[in-house]
Amino acid sequence: MMIHSMTGFASVEQQSEFGRLAWEMRSVNHRYLEIGLRLPEEFRSLEPSIRDMLGAQISRGKVDVTLRFTRNQDATQSELVLNTGLAQRLLDMHKELQQLSTIRKEADLNQLMRWPGMISERAPDSESMQQAALELLASGIAELNASRRREGAKLVVLIQERLDNVSAVVQQVRGWLPEIRLALRQRLLSRIADLPQPLEPGRLEQEVAFLAQKIDVDEELDRLDAHVSEARRVVALAEPVGRRLDFLMQEFNRESNTLSSKSIDQRSTQAAVELKVLIEQMREQVQNIE
């Protein structure tokens, strides 16, 4: 299994003995799996099966599914079925009302036929027709997943490029650190030279050590490298990883913020800004991963 995007589209259709069946599916990013269905009346009973089929193949995303059905002109016409149980109950109630009111009036059959649920339409061999729709749906889901997989592959390439750039920035900052520390020492020496009174013995080294500790970013750089390695591992997993990557982006952002707050050099400040841009670009891409 490869990384899947939550964005995808699929359209499949088939001519059957009953008529033309056409499924259309669109998916976009969403925190959870949300399925929206639009089905012709004669296929509404399939809704639980459709949701089960989609849920077995897709874990996240907002998926809109539409089924269109055009019946063949020469297909056997549907059958109108009378709800005899409901009709009998209404007629019994009519008799009871006659007895209670002492008013004798024949039941209006036209009104009874318009009673909700009195007349239903049953398609001929509806079971075979619905089975054909489900089989075609399976093909549509496979096509939708293929579309999401293609989009996911593009996202992985973009994320890998950003991860490479993050690693490059971290290495740059590591290379600058000795020079930054030396410059800090030189600035401190210059300020001390301007003091009217000399420092106590060992005080200079204490001040340098204190400032060096205050601006030390080795730990943050190590964690950024660790996050890069973890992100590369995660995108290679054969399972949905969108939430895990989203959490990693938060960790990336935390380290870049700390790096920025500790910076005393223009180069490391710019590097922190560049890291934030790269992380935000990755975060936008991760938001669309299943």
Q: Is residue 114 part of a domain?
A: yes
pLDDT in tens, 166-200: 999 999 998 888 887 777 666 666 665 565 666 56
State whether 155 and 272 are in the same domain.
yes
State whether 70 and 109 are in the same domain.
no
Task: Say how many C-beta atoms besides its own lie within 10 A of residue 205's C-beta.
Answer: 11
Q: What is the pLDDT of residue 172?
A: 92
Q: What is the pLDDT of residue 17?
A: 80
Q: What is the pLDDT of residue 203?
A: 59
The CATH number that applies at residue 245 is 1.20.140
State whether 62 and 163 are in the same domain.
no
Q: What is the pLDDT of residue 215?
A: 62
Query: What is the DSSP secondary structure assignment for residue 63, as one 8-state letter?
Result: E
Q: Is residue 248 part of a domain?
A: yes
Q: Is residue 1 part of a domain?
A: no
Spell out the residues 6+ positions from residue 225 whose beta carbon is closer than 8 angstroms to its own: 167, 170
Q: Is residue 257 part of a domain?
A: yes
Alpha-carbon span 65 to 36, nearest angstrom: 6
Alpha-carbon span 255 to 225, nearest angstrom: 10
Pick from 29, 23, 28: nearest CA to 10: 23
State whether 246 and 185 are in the same domain.
yes
State whether 53 and 86 are in the same domain.
no
Tokens standing for residue 178: 């000795």
Q: Which domain holds residue 116?
A: 80-120
Q: Is residue 2 part of a domain?
A: no
pTM for the predicted model, two decimal places: 0.70
State whether 24 and 92 are in the same domain.
no
State whether 169 and 137 are in the same domain.
no
Q: What is the pLDDT of residue 115?
A: 86
* Radius of gyration, alpha carbons of the chain: 35
Q: Is residue 197 part of a domain?
A: yes
State whether 182 and 268 are in the same domain.
yes
Q: Whose structure tokens read 């060992």?
A: 202
Residues of the chain with pLDDT under 50: none
Q: What is the pLDDT of residue 221?
A: 92
Pick from 264, 270, 269, 267: nearest CA to 186: 264
The CATH number that applies at residue 140 is 3.30.230.10
State whether 194 and 221 are in the same domain.
yes
* Number of domains comprising the chain: 3
State whether 25 and 130 are in the same domain.
yes
Alpha-carbon span 287 to 30, nearest angstrom: 9
State whether 200 and 263 are in the same domain.
yes
- Edge-first strand listing for the sheet containing 61-71: 8-15, 19-28, 61-71, 33-38
Q: What is the pLDDT of residue 218?
A: 83
Alpha-carbon span 113 to 82, nearest angstrom: 9
State whether 65 and 173 are in the same domain.
no
Distinct helix (H) and strand (E) counts, the chain: 8, 6
